[in-house]
Amino acid sequence: MTVSLSPITEQFGAVVSGVDLGRPLTPDEVAAIDSGMDQYAVLVFNGQDLTDEQQVAFSKNFGEMENKTGGNIRTEERVNQHINDVSNLDNNNKPFDRNDRRRFFNLGNHLWHSDSSFRATPAKYSLLSARSIPSEGGNTEFADMRQAYDALDDKTKAKIEGLVCEHSQIYSRGKLGFTFNEEEIGLMKPVRQAFVRVHPKSGRKSLYLSSHAGRVLGWPDPEARLFLLNLLEHGTQRQFVYAHKWQLHDLVMWDNRQTMHRARDFDETQKRDMRRTTVAGEAMTVEQAAA
């Protein structure tokens, strides 16, 4: 079998075939996937019925696993220690009640974001595996922040060059009225991120937006928030978006440095068991002074 890619749009997203992610990959297969990520930023693999261990082993081809400490309010685990549980299920595999705080936290994933932009060194790749899906809805949408950057006018490009934002889950979840206790706040101190990122291989620039962004350094807060909202609207126009309709055992892999994503609505009395592995980033986007 050889890895082959069929592009979803010319620049953004591709479906990968000819590879079984449940077994060790050859260096050529890893290289083909890596270069596909550089080019398309989102890759879809169908029919990959993986265990947590197989998902972790596949993910490790692309770097170290991110340490998930401080990423979620959930304390007990339903899944492997390297997996982020983004399901709607409690430890008895039952959908959360409507008023469950863990459900409220997960609703934050329905806001456009880039994974772990609230960490000093934010995530490189995320890999999401569909172990159980609802009968309808629950798509994941991806927005191409490279095309979004390219489409900005020169004045805006000049304005954002060199700007730094503060990101924290307090800002993102706060938008939904979610509140954290003191211990959680201690784990969610804002970090600094560049507004514009440059891809290390392609050299392409992208808008580094995320719901976690709450402030622009040196700017008054209302002006910063309005600016971020306007750019969010710009960057998520339909021509920049790929909506993934899940099939059971799909695995979708995306580059958080070049994209945003969000979950869409579904009937939450049904099970949606999605499990994410996260490949750690290789560098901070700006130096971290005391944010």
User: Per the structure block, which two tokens stand in for 89?
Assistant: 């299920």
Beta-carbon count within 10 A of 289 CB: 8
Toward ligand OGA, which CB reaches closer, 167 or 276?
276
Toward ligand OGA, which CB reaches closer, 140 or 169?
140
| Cα–Cα distance measured from residue 27 to residue 192, given in angstroms and rounded to the nearest whole number | 35
Toward Mn ion, which CB reaches closer, 19 or 134?
134
Partners of 113 in the beta sheet? Answer: 261
> Is the CB of residue 95 less than 8 Å from the CB of residue 269?
yes
Q: Which residues does 196 contact at the CB level (< 8 Å), separation at least 6?
A: 149, 160, 161, 162, 163, 205, 206, 207, 208
Toward ligand OGA, which CB reaches closer, 86 or 143?
86
Provide, rounded to whole angstroms, the least separation between the CB of residue 113 and ligand OGA. 7
Q: How buried is 124 (Cβ within 10 angstroms: 0-12 exposed, 13-18 middle, 19+ buried)?
A: buried
Q: Is 115 in the site for Mn ion (CB under 5 A)?
A: yes
User: Per the structure block, which two tokens stand in for 185?
Assistant: 């706040």
Q: Residue 128 binds what, of ligand OGA, Mn ion, none (CB under 5 to 8 Å, by partner type)? A: ligand OGA
- Of 193, 224, 276, 281, the one binding ligand OGA (CB under 6 A) is 276
Lookup result for tokens 């891809």? 199
Lookup result for tokens 């629950």? 138
> Is the CB of residue 25 less than 8 Å from the CB of residue 255?
no
Provide, rounded to whole angstroms, the least separation between the CB of residue 253 and Mn ion. 13
Q: Which residues does 229 contact at the CB level (< 8 Å), separation at least 6?
A: none
> Is the CB of residue 143 less than 8 Å from the CB of residue 259?
yes
- Of 88, 140, 168, 210, the one binding ligand OGA (CB under 6 A) is 140
Q: Is 126 in the site for ligand OGA (CB under 6 A)?
A: yes
Toward ligand OGA, which CB reaches closer, 205 or 261?
261
Provide, rounded to whole angstroms, the least separation between the CB of residue 86 and Mn ion. 7
Site string for ligand OGA, 43-82 (x = CB under 6 A): ----------------------------------------
Q: Residue 57 binds what, of Mn ion, ligand OGA, none (CB under 5 to 8 Å, by partner type)? A: none
Site string for ligand OGA, 242-271 (x = CB under 6 A): -------------------x-x--------
| Cα–Cα distance measured from residue 240 to residue 258, given in angstroms and rounded to the nearest whole number | 12
User: Which element (helix H / strand E) includes 40?
Assistant: helix 27-40
- Of 41, 42, 86, 165, the one binding ligand OGA (CB under 6 A) is 86
Q: Residue 210 binds what, of ligand OGA, Mn ion, none (CB under 5 to 8 Å, by partner type)? A: none
Provide, rounded to whole angstroms, the least separation between the CB of residue 167 and ligand OGA. 15
Q: Residue 274 binds what, of ligand OGA, Mn ion, none (CB under 5 to 8 Å, by partner type)? A: ligand OGA
Using Cβ positions, the residue closest to ligand OGA within the complex turns out to be 263
Alpha helices in 151-278 (DSSP H): 154-160, 169-174, 182-187, 221-235
**Given the rule CB under 5 A, which residues bind Mn ion?**
115
**Given the rule CB under 6 A, which residues bind ligand OGA?**
86, 109, 115, 126, 128, 140, 261, 263, 274, 276
